[in-house]
Amino acid sequence: MAAFSVRHRDTCRICGSRNLVEVLDLTDQPPSNSFIAPEAVAAEQRFPLKMHLCRDCGLSQLLDIVSAEDIFDDYAYLSSTSRALCTHYQGLVDAAIERFKLPDGAVVGDIGCNDGIMLARYPAGRFSLVGIEPSSAGAYARKAGFTVVEDFFGRDLAPRLVERFGRVKLVTSTNVFAHVDDIESFAAGVQAWLAEDGVWIIEFPYLVDMVERCYFDTIYHEHLCYLALTPLAHLFAKVSLRAFRVEKTEVGASGPALRLFVCRADAPHAEDSSIPALLRAEADWGIKDPARYHDFAKRVEAVKESLLATLADLKAKGHQVAAFCAPAKGNTLLNYLGVGPDDIVAVSENNDLKIGKLTPGSHIPVISDQALLDAKIPYALLLAWNYADFFVANSDYVKQGGRFIVPLPEPVVRP
Ligand SMILES: [Zn+2]
For position 302, what pLDDT does the model report?
95
Q: What is the mean pLDDT of residues 380-385?
A: 94
Q: What is the mean pLDDT of residues 100-116?
A: 96
Among the candidates 238, 268, 287, a domain finishes at 287
Asked whether residue 154 falls in the same domain as residue 203, the answer is yes
Q: What is the mean pLDDT of residues 2-26?
A: 93
Q: How far apart are CA 205 and CA 300, in angstroms?
A: 17
Q: How far apart are CA 147 and CA 361, in angstroms?
A: 36
pLDDT band for position 355 (cuts 50, 70, 90): very high
Asked whether residue 271 falls in the same domain as residue 344, the answer is no
Q: Tens digits of per-residue pLDDT, 204-224?
A: 989 999 999 899 998 999 889
For position 73, what pLDDT does the model report?
45
Q: Give 9 Cα–ligand 1 centroid separation in angstroms.
A: 13
For position 255, what pLDDT does the model report?
63
For position 290, what pLDDT does the model report?
97
Q: Give 182 Cα–ligand 1 centroid separation in angstroms.
A: 13
Asked whether residue 260 falls in the same domain as residue 398, the answer is no
Asked whether residue 240 falls in the same domain as residue 383, the answer is no
Q: Give 390 Cα–ligand 1 centroid separation in angstroms.
A: 38
Asked whether residue 283 falls in the same domain as residue 326, the answer is no
> What domain range includes position 183?
79-287
Q: Give 137 Cα–ligand 1 centroid separation in angstroms.
A: 32
Asked whether residue 272 falls in the same domain as residue 337, the answer is no
Q: Give 69 Cα–ligand 1 centroid separation in angstroms.
A: 25
Q: Give 17 Cα–ligand 1 centroid separation in angstroms.
A: 5
At 257, the amino acid letter reads A
For position 212, what pLDDT does the model report?
93
Q: Give 280 Cα–ligand 1 centroid separation in angstroms.
A: 18
322 in a domain, yes or no? yes
Asked whether residue 111 falls in the same domain as residue 213, the answer is yes
Least confident of 4-18, 62-76, 243-257, 328-342: 62-76
More confident residue, 74 or 282: 282
Number of domains in the chain: 2
What is the SS3 assignment for 130-155?
EEECCCCCHHHHHHCCCEEECCCCCC
CATH of the domain at 115: 3.40.50.150
Q: Which residues surround ligand 1, an ion (CB under 5 A)?
A: 12, 14-15, 17, 54, 56-57, 59
Asked whether residue 183 falls in the same domain as residue 330, the answer is no
Q: Give 19 Cα–ligand 1 centroid separation in angstroms.
A: 8
Dihedral, CA atoms, 38, 44, 47, 49, nearest 10 degrees? 0
Q: Give 149 Cα–ligand 1 centroid separation in angstroms.
A: 31
Angle, to 10 degrees, between the axis of helix 229-238 and the axis of helix 274-285? Answer: 120
For position 81, what pLDDT does the model report?
61
Is residue 156's pLDDT more than 60? yes
Q: How far apart are CA 46 and CA 125, in angstroms?
A: 46
203 in a domain, yes or no? yes
Chain-centre distance for alpha carbon 357: 22
Q: How far apart are CA 282 and CA 258, in angstroms?
A: 13
How are beta strands 241-252 and 255-264 bridged, if at all? Answer: antiparallel
The average confidence (pLDDT) of the chain is 92
For position 253, what pLDDT does the model report?
46
